[in-house]
Amino acid sequence: MKIGPSGNSTYLDDHGPPPSKVLPFPSQVVYNRVGKCGSRTVVLLLRILSEKHGFNLVTSDIHNKTRLTKNEQMELIKNISTAEQPYLFTRHVHFLNFSRFGGDQPVYINIIRDPVNRFLSNYFFRRFGDWRGEQNHMIRTPSMRQEERYLDINECILENYPECSNPRLFYIIPYFCGQHPRCREPGEWALERAKLNVNENFLLVGILEELEDVLLLLERFLPHYFKGVLSIYKDPEHRKLGNMTVTVKKTVPSPEAVQILYQRMRYEYEFYHYVKEQFHLLKRKFGLKSRVSRPALRPQFFIPTPLETEEPMDDEEQDDEKWLEDIYKR
């Protein structure tokens, strides 16, 4: 036994340094949540899960700054990277390339939804808020003029108001394309770059219309963060809280207006269906059945709805655990 300066033995002398904390893998997760795609519901779940499982939930008070300068990117990446691990960072922000600035690239997750439905939810949320408070919209958009607040959705679309036309309708793709200026320009370049990032940097991009299956896969892929999430989500008390985030006073545009939106959002829809196809591949890989869901109105130029079959996939002679390891190594 070694004696310390005070004449007493010390823990370090007797036992050596305490064992280092064993981190789960992955221990760095980023949820760069897309607006009006169920993110407030998921954040409610994450708050419960972080207390239950002991991971570090890192949130941000900045909600309306998704595009960053180079210096802002460096600063945010530094702040995220130095957070205590295991962490899950969440914020409305376009994809950040950590490796570009010398950082370790985290695992990304996200959720998207039908682009027209997302747009409509946001349109009315900005004006009228949700069930959490009748004056919620006044807090979020206090400077909005009354004529703008009560602008008819059909007039906004048919008269080509800025809020209902490009580039503002080009909303989902930049969250996956990244911070390059061209990521905000509707076109093939941003679309293809977004697809590439989904394949190389995102562990899972789910579909809000199939949220329960998204939660099941998150629990399977990231158990240290999401174990038990579905039972929490289905709990009546949580459902009560979740219902408070439903946007109020939503109305449906005319068929003519919806068709115009489809045309203006063709790249958003191509990306949405690509993600949906990848998501259904994952579901089938793990034995989850894809529900058949077809929008009432569909753009004529679009690809057929992919992979909405309940037939099992052929065995690829690759077990689930090996396949998950390959995903984490992307």
User: Catalytic amino acids?
Assistant: 92
Query: What amino acid occupies position 2?
Result: K
* Residues contacting 146, CB < 8 A, separation 6+: none
Nearest to 29 by CA among 50, 5, 4, 51: 50
- Residue 260 backbone phi and psi in degrees, to 5: -65, -40
* Residues contacting 43, CB < 8 A, separation 6+: 33, 59, 90
Q: Which residues pair with 205 in a beta bridge?
A: 110
CA 170 to CA 268: how far, in whole Å? 7
Which pair of tokens denotes residue 202?
Answer: 């995102």
CA 6 to CA 134: how far, in whole Å? 65
Length of the chain, in residues: 330
Nearest to 189 by CA among 198, 177, 200, 176: 177
Q: Which residues pair with 112 in a beta bridge?
A: 207
DSSP H stretches of helix in the chain: 11-15, 39-53, 70-81, 115-128, 136-140, 146-149, 153-158, 174-177, 188-201, 211-221, 223-226, 229-234, 236-243, 255-264, 266-285, 320-328
64 with 88: CB under 8 angstroms? no
